[in-house]
Amino acid sequence: MSEQFKAFFVEQPEKKHFTRSIVTRSLDDLPEGDLVIRVAWSSLNYKDALSATGHPGVTRNFPHTPGIDAAGSVVSDASGRFQPGEQVLVTGFDLGMETDGGFGQLIRIPAEWAVPLPDGLSLRESMIIGTAGFTAALSVWKMTKNGVKPEDGNILVTGATGGVGSVTTAILAKAGYRVVGSTLKGSEKAFLEDLGASEIISADEVLVGADRPMMKERWAGVIDCVGGDTLAAAIKSTQYGGTVTCCGLVGSTELNLNVFPFILRGVSLLGIDSVQCPMEPRHKVWEKLASDWKVPQLEELATECSLDDLDERISRILNGQLRGRTIVNLGQ
Protein backbone atom coordinates (compact mmCIF):
# COMPACT_ATOMS: atom_id res chain seq x y z
CA MET A 1 0.00 0.00 0.00
CA SER A 2 1.33 3.43 -0.95
CA GLU A 3 2.29 5.78 1.91
CA GLN A 4 -0.44 8.14 3.05
CA PHE A 5 -0.04 11.75 4.15
CA LYS A 6 -2.00 14.90 4.97
CA ALA A 7 -2.42 17.72 2.50
CA PHE A 8 -4.24 21.02 2.14
CA PHE A 9 -6.58 20.36 -0.77
CA VAL A 10 -8.39 22.82 -3.03
CA GLU A 11 -11.33 21.45 -4.99
CA GLN A 12 -14.00 22.82 -7.31
CA PRO A 13 -17.01 20.53 -7.00
CA GLU A 14 -19.15 20.57 -10.13
CA LYS A 15 -17.02 23.48 -11.45
CA LYS A 16 -18.67 25.87 -8.99
CA HIS A 17 -17.25 27.40 -5.81
CA PHE A 18 -13.78 26.43 -4.65
CA THR A 19 -13.51 24.56 -1.36
CA ARG A 20 -10.47 24.05 0.89
CA SER A 21 -9.90 21.25 3.38
CA ILE A 22 -7.30 18.95 4.95
CA VAL A 23 -7.43 15.49 3.35
CA THR A 24 -5.50 12.24 3.46
CA ARG A 25 -3.73 11.45 0.20
CA SER A 26 -1.53 8.67 -1.12
CA LEU A 27 1.89 8.86 -2.73
CA ASP A 28 0.27 7.30 -5.78
CA ASP A 29 -1.86 10.44 -6.12
CA LEU A 30 1.17 12.63 -6.80
CA PRO A 31 2.48 13.48 -10.26
CA GLU A 32 5.39 11.62 -11.83
CA GLY A 33 8.89 12.70 -10.89
CA ASP A 34 12.33 11.48 -9.83
CA LEU A 35 12.45 12.97 -6.35
CA VAL A 36 10.18 12.27 -3.38
CA ILE A 37 10.57 14.66 -0.43
CA ARG A 38 9.06 14.42 3.04
CA VAL A 39 8.14 18.05 3.68
CA ALA A 40 8.90 19.43 7.12
CA TRP A 41 8.23 23.12 6.46
CA SER A 42 6.57 25.29 3.84
CA SER A 43 5.57 28.94 3.72
CA LEU A 44 2.59 31.01 2.68
CA ASN A 45 3.05 33.39 -0.24
CA TYR A 46 0.59 35.65 -2.02
CA LYS A 47 0.78 33.33 -5.03
CA ASP A 48 -0.30 30.41 -2.80
CA ALA A 49 -3.37 32.37 -1.74
CA LEU A 50 -4.25 33.03 -5.37
CA SER A 51 -3.87 29.33 -6.17
CA ALA A 52 -6.02 28.39 -3.16
CA THR A 53 -8.82 30.67 -4.35
CA GLY A 54 -8.81 29.42 -7.94
CA HIS A 55 -6.95 32.24 -9.68
CA PRO A 56 -6.46 30.96 -13.26
CA GLY A 57 -3.23 32.92 -13.67
CA VAL A 58 -1.60 30.59 -11.12
CA THR A 59 -3.49 27.28 -11.19
CA ARG A 60 -5.98 26.03 -13.76
CA ASN A 61 -6.34 22.36 -12.89
CA PHE A 62 -8.15 21.25 -9.74
CA PRO A 63 -8.20 19.48 -7.33
CA HIS A 64 -4.80 20.80 -6.28
CA THR A 65 -2.42 21.26 -3.34
CA PRO A 66 -0.78 24.74 -3.35
CA GLY A 67 2.56 25.62 -1.79
CA ILE A 68 5.33 27.09 -3.96
CA ASP A 69 7.92 26.46 -1.21
CA ALA A 70 8.98 23.24 0.49
CA ALA A 71 11.87 22.08 2.65
CA GLY A 72 12.43 18.58 3.96
CA SER A 73 14.29 15.30 3.64
CA VAL A 74 14.73 13.11 0.60
CA VAL A 75 12.73 9.87 0.68
CA SER A 76 13.98 8.59 -2.68
CA ASP A 77 15.54 9.91 -5.88
CA ALA A 78 15.48 7.86 -9.06
CA SER A 79 17.87 10.32 -10.74
CA GLY A 80 20.68 9.65 -8.26
CA ARG A 81 21.30 13.35 -7.57
CA PHE A 82 20.30 13.10 -3.92
CA GLN A 83 20.61 10.47 -1.23
CA PRO A 84 17.79 9.36 1.13
CA GLY A 85 17.79 11.54 4.22
CA GLU A 86 19.55 14.47 2.50
CA GLN A 87 17.99 17.82 3.36
CA VAL A 88 16.80 19.91 0.42
CA LEU A 89 14.67 22.93 -0.38
CA VAL A 90 12.48 23.74 -3.36
CA THR A 91 11.26 27.16 -4.48
CA GLY A 92 9.86 28.16 -7.84
CA PHE A 93 9.53 26.19 -11.06
CA ASP A 94 6.03 24.65 -11.22
CA LEU A 95 5.80 23.61 -7.57
CA GLY A 96 2.43 24.59 -6.10
CA MET A 97 1.15 25.92 -9.41
CA GLU A 98 0.10 22.92 -11.52
CA THR A 99 2.32 20.47 -9.61
CA ASP A 100 1.07 19.54 -6.12
CA GLY A 101 3.04 21.65 -3.70
CA GLY A 102 4.46 22.14 -0.26
CA PHE A 103 1.14 22.21 1.62
CA GLY A 104 1.30 18.41 1.50
CA GLN A 105 3.51 16.26 3.71
CA LEU A 106 4.96 14.53 0.64
CA ILE A 107 5.84 15.97 -2.77
CA ARG A 108 7.17 14.33 -5.92
CA ILE A 109 9.04 16.53 -8.38
CA PRO A 110 11.80 16.54 -11.02
CA ALA A 111 15.12 16.28 -9.16
CA GLU A 112 16.53 19.34 -10.96
CA TRP A 113 14.12 21.60 -9.07
CA ALA A 114 15.73 20.90 -5.69
CA VAL A 115 18.63 22.73 -4.02
CA PRO A 116 20.72 21.07 -1.29
CA LEU A 117 20.12 22.85 2.00
CA PRO A 118 23.13 25.19 2.37
CA ASP A 119 25.36 24.91 5.43
CA GLY A 120 24.30 27.57 7.89
CA LEU A 121 20.55 27.21 7.38
CA SER A 122 18.03 24.91 9.04
CA LEU A 123 15.00 23.64 7.16
CA ARG A 124 12.83 25.98 9.22
CA GLU A 125 15.05 28.98 8.46
CA SER A 126 15.06 28.18 4.75
CA MET A 127 11.27 28.50 4.73
CA ILE A 128 11.28 31.75 6.69
CA ILE A 129 13.29 32.90 3.70
CA GLY A 130 11.33 30.91 1.09
CA THR A 131 10.38 32.30 -2.31
CA ALA A 132 9.84 35.77 -0.84
CA GLY A 133 13.29 35.89 0.75
CA PHE A 134 14.94 34.35 -2.29
CA THR A 135 13.25 36.98 -4.48
CA ALA A 136 14.48 39.68 -2.08
CA ALA A 137 18.04 38.36 -2.17
CA LEU A 138 17.96 37.95 -5.95
CA SER A 139 16.86 41.60 -6.20
CA VAL A 140 19.71 42.77 -3.96
CA TRP A 141 22.18 40.52 -5.80
CA LYS A 142 21.22 41.98 -9.20
CA MET A 143 21.29 45.54 -7.86
CA THR A 144 24.77 45.11 -6.40
CA LYS A 145 26.03 43.39 -9.58
CA ASN A 146 24.79 46.47 -11.44
CA GLY A 147 27.15 48.60 -9.36
CA VAL A 148 25.02 50.19 -6.61
CA LYS A 149 27.19 50.59 -3.49
CA PRO A 150 26.26 51.61 0.08
CA GLU A 151 28.04 54.95 -0.30
CA ASP A 152 25.94 55.87 -3.33
CA GLY A 153 22.92 56.90 -1.26
CA ASN A 154 19.53 55.78 0.00
CA ILE A 155 17.86 52.57 -1.17
CA LEU A 156 14.06 52.66 -1.32
CA VAL A 157 12.18 49.45 -0.52
CA THR A 158 8.50 49.65 -1.44
CA GLY A 159 5.93 47.44 0.27
CA ALA A 160 8.51 47.10 3.03
CA THR A 161 6.37 45.20 5.54
CA GLY A 162 5.48 42.40 3.11
CA GLY A 163 7.25 39.09 2.68
CA VAL A 164 9.71 40.29 0.03
CA GLY A 165 10.05 43.82 1.38
CA SER A 166 10.78 42.84 4.96
CA VAL A 167 13.56 40.40 4.03
CA THR A 168 14.96 42.92 1.54
CA THR A 169 15.11 45.55 4.27
CA ALA A 170 17.00 43.25 6.62
CA ILE A 171 19.46 42.05 3.94
CA LEU A 172 20.25 45.57 2.75
CA ALA A 173 20.76 46.83 6.29
CA LYS A 174 23.14 43.96 7.06
CA ALA A 175 25.05 44.68 3.85
CA GLY A 176 25.60 48.29 4.98
CA TYR A 177 23.02 50.15 2.91
CA ARG A 178 20.85 52.97 4.24
CA VAL A 179 17.30 51.71 3.74
CA VAL A 180 14.19 53.85 3.37
CA GLY A 181 11.12 51.66 3.72
CA SER A 182 7.77 52.75 2.32
CA THR A 183 4.55 51.23 3.59
CA LEU A 184 0.82 51.75 3.86
CA LYS A 185 1.05 50.50 7.45
CA GLY A 186 2.26 53.38 9.58
CA SER A 187 1.77 51.28 12.71
CA GLU A 188 4.64 49.01 11.61
CA LYS A 189 7.39 51.61 12.04
CA ALA A 190 8.99 49.77 14.96
CA PHE A 191 8.95 46.49 13.02
CA LEU A 192 10.84 48.05 10.11
CA GLU A 193 13.29 49.83 12.39
CA ASP A 194 14.06 46.51 14.08
CA LEU A 195 14.86 45.09 10.64
CA GLY A 196 17.36 47.88 10.07
CA ALA A 197 15.43 50.54 8.15
CA SER A 198 16.95 53.98 8.72
CA GLU A 199 13.80 55.83 7.66
CA ILE A 200 10.15 54.91 7.16
CA ILE A 201 7.90 56.88 4.85
CA SER A 202 4.31 56.47 3.78
CA ALA A 203 3.52 54.89 0.44
CA ASP A 204 1.82 58.15 -0.55
CA GLU A 205 5.07 60.07 -0.06
CA VAL A 206 6.69 58.04 -2.85
CA LEU A 207 4.00 59.36 -5.22
CA VAL A 208 4.37 63.08 -4.44
CA GLY A 209 5.16 64.82 -7.73
CA ALA A 210 4.58 61.69 -9.79
CA ASP A 211 2.38 63.62 -12.23
CA ARG A 212 5.53 65.28 -13.60
CA PRO A 213 7.67 63.70 -16.36
CA MET A 214 10.66 63.59 -13.99
CA MET A 215 10.92 63.88 -10.21
CA LYS A 216 13.63 65.00 -7.81
CA GLU A 217 16.51 62.52 -7.59
CA ARG A 218 16.18 60.65 -4.28
CA TRP A 219 17.28 57.03 -4.58
CA ALA A 220 20.56 55.33 -5.48
CA GLY A 221 18.56 52.17 -5.91
CA VAL A 222 15.04 50.85 -5.50
CA ILE A 223 13.75 47.38 -4.69
CA ASP A 224 10.12 47.63 -5.79
CA CYS A 225 7.65 45.03 -4.52
CA VAL A 226 4.47 46.87 -5.55
CA GLY A 227 4.45 47.77 -9.26
CA GLY A 228 2.08 50.20 -10.97
CA ASP A 229 2.20 53.90 -10.06
CA THR A 230 4.63 53.22 -7.20
CA LEU A 231 7.16 51.67 -9.56
CA ALA A 232 6.74 54.49 -12.08
CA ALA A 233 7.32 57.13 -9.39
CA ALA A 234 10.32 55.25 -8.02
CA ILE A 235 11.94 55.15 -11.47
CA LYS A 236 11.29 58.87 -12.01
CA SER A 237 12.95 59.71 -8.68
CA THR A 238 16.01 57.46 -8.99
CA GLN A 239 19.27 59.36 -9.22
CA TYR A 240 21.67 59.34 -12.16
CA GLY A 241 23.03 55.86 -12.88
CA GLY A 242 20.81 54.22 -10.29
CA THR A 243 19.15 50.82 -10.47
CA VAL A 244 15.54 49.79 -9.90
CA THR A 245 14.47 46.16 -9.56
CA CYS A 246 10.88 45.05 -10.17
CA CYS A 247 9.30 41.93 -8.69
CA GLY A 248 5.77 42.91 -7.61
CA LEU A 249 2.37 43.62 -9.13
CA VAL A 250 0.03 44.08 -6.19
CA GLY A 251 -0.32 47.78 -7.13
CA SER A 252 -0.94 47.12 -10.81
CA THR A 253 0.46 45.19 -13.75
CA GLU A 254 0.55 48.41 -15.79
CA LEU A 255 3.53 50.79 -15.92
CA ASN A 256 2.62 54.33 -17.01
CA LEU A 257 6.00 55.87 -17.73
CA ASN A 258 8.02 57.93 -20.21
CA VAL A 259 11.59 57.18 -21.31
CA PHE A 260 13.22 60.24 -19.69
CA PRO A 261 14.66 58.47 -16.61
CA PHE A 262 16.37 55.95 -18.87
CA ILE A 263 17.82 58.30 -21.51
CA LEU A 264 18.50 61.40 -19.35
CA ARG A 265 19.60 59.76 -16.09
CA GLY A 266 20.78 56.35 -17.28
CA VAL A 267 18.50 54.54 -14.82
CA SER A 268 18.45 50.73 -15.12
CA LEU A 269 15.26 48.74 -14.64
CA LEU A 270 15.92 45.07 -13.84
CA GLY A 271 13.17 42.46 -13.82
CA ILE A 272 13.33 39.80 -11.10
CA ASP A 273 12.01 36.31 -11.77
CA SER A 274 12.54 33.76 -9.04
CA VAL A 275 10.49 30.99 -10.70
CA GLN A 276 12.68 30.01 -13.65
CA CYS A 277 15.93 31.42 -12.24
CA PRO A 278 18.79 29.19 -13.51
CA MET A 279 20.55 26.93 -11.04
CA GLU A 280 23.92 28.70 -11.05
CA PRO A 281 22.65 32.06 -9.71
CA ARG A 282 20.06 30.20 -7.61
CA HIS A 283 22.83 28.33 -5.76
CA LYS A 284 24.92 31.51 -5.37
CA VAL A 285 22.04 33.48 -3.88
CA TRP A 286 21.10 30.66 -1.46
CA GLU A 287 24.73 30.48 -0.33
CA LYS A 288 24.65 34.23 0.36
CA LEU A 289 21.42 33.80 2.33
CA ALA A 290 23.13 31.16 4.47
CA SER A 291 26.24 33.27 5.11
CA ASP A 292 26.85 36.98 4.43
CA TRP A 293 23.16 37.78 4.04
CA LYS A 294 21.80 35.58 6.82
CA VAL A 295 19.94 38.20 8.80
CA PRO A 296 19.78 38.01 12.60
CA GLN A 297 16.08 38.93 12.58
CA LEU A 298 14.89 35.76 10.81
CA GLU A 299 12.77 34.59 13.72
CA GLU A 300 11.33 38.08 14.16
CA LEU A 301 10.10 37.87 10.58
CA ALA A 302 8.33 34.55 11.13
CA THR A 303 4.85 33.61 12.24
CA GLU A 304 4.20 29.87 12.38
CA CYS A 305 1.00 28.07 11.52
CA SER A 306 -0.21 24.52 10.86
CA LEU A 307 -2.13 23.08 7.92
CA ASP A 308 -5.29 23.57 9.99
CA ASP A 309 -4.57 27.32 10.26
CA LEU A 310 -3.93 27.87 6.58
CA ASP A 311 -7.44 28.75 5.45
CA GLU A 312 -7.65 31.69 7.85
CA ARG A 313 -4.12 32.88 6.94
CA ILE A 314 -4.97 32.78 3.24
CA SER A 315 -7.86 35.18 3.82
CA ARG A 316 -5.59 37.49 5.79
CA ILE A 317 -2.80 37.62 3.22
CA LEU A 318 -5.31 38.41 0.46
CA ASN A 319 -6.59 41.30 2.59
CA GLY A 320 -3.09 42.64 3.25
CA GLN A 321 -3.30 41.78 6.95
CA LEU A 322 -0.08 39.76 7.31
CA ARG A 323 3.41 41.09 7.80
CA GLY A 324 6.75 39.39 7.39
CA ARG A 325 6.73 35.67 6.65
CA THR A 326 4.21 32.97 7.55
CA ILE A 327 5.77 29.49 7.75
CA VAL A 328 3.79 26.28 7.73
CA ASN A 329 4.72 23.42 10.06
CA LEU A 330 3.78 20.17 8.32
CA GLY A 331 3.76 18.40 11.69
CA GLN A 332 6.03 15.46 10.97
- Note the CATH architecture for domain 131-271: 3-Layer(aba) Sandwich (3.40)
- pLDDT value at position 332? 58
Yes or no: say if 91 and 290 are a contact pair by the CB < 8 Å rule: no
Q: What is the DSSP letter of 144?
A: H
% of the chain exceeding 90 in pLDDT: 86
**Inter-residue contact 274 to 282 (CB < 8 Å):** no
What whole-number distance in Å separates Cα of residue 276 and Cα of residue 139? 14
Looking at residue 188, what is its pLDDT? 85
User: What is the per-residue pLDDT across 244-273, written as a single tens digit (0 to 9) for each?
Assistant: 999 988 889 999 999 999 999 999 999 999
Q: Where in the chain is the domain with CATH 3.40.50.720?
A: 131-271
For residue 1, what pLDDT band results from cuts at 50, 70 and 90?
A: low
User: Looking at residue 31, what is its pLDDT?
Assistant: 94
d(CA 166, CA 234): 18
pLDDT digit string, tens, across residues 68-101: 999 999 999 999 999 999 999 999 999 999 999 9
Residues comprising the chain, all counted: 332
Q: Which residues pair with 77 in a beta bridge?
A: 35
Cross-strand bridge partners of residue 224: 246
Res 53 pLDDT > 90: yes
**Per-residue confidence at 320, pLDDT binned at 50, 70, 90?**
confident
Q: Where are the alpha helices (DSSP H) in 62-188?
A: 123-145, 163-174
Per-residue burial over 173-182, b if 16 or more Cβ lie within 10 Å, else e, is: bbbebbbbbb
Query: pTM, whole model, 2 decimals?
Result: 0.91
- Write down the CATH number for the domain with range 4-117+298-329: 3.90.180.10
Distances from the Cα of 28 to the Cα of 13, 107, 160, angstroms: 22, 11, 42
Give the mean model confidence (pLDDT) for residues 118-145: 96
Positions of CATH 3.90.180.10 in the chain: 4-117+298-329
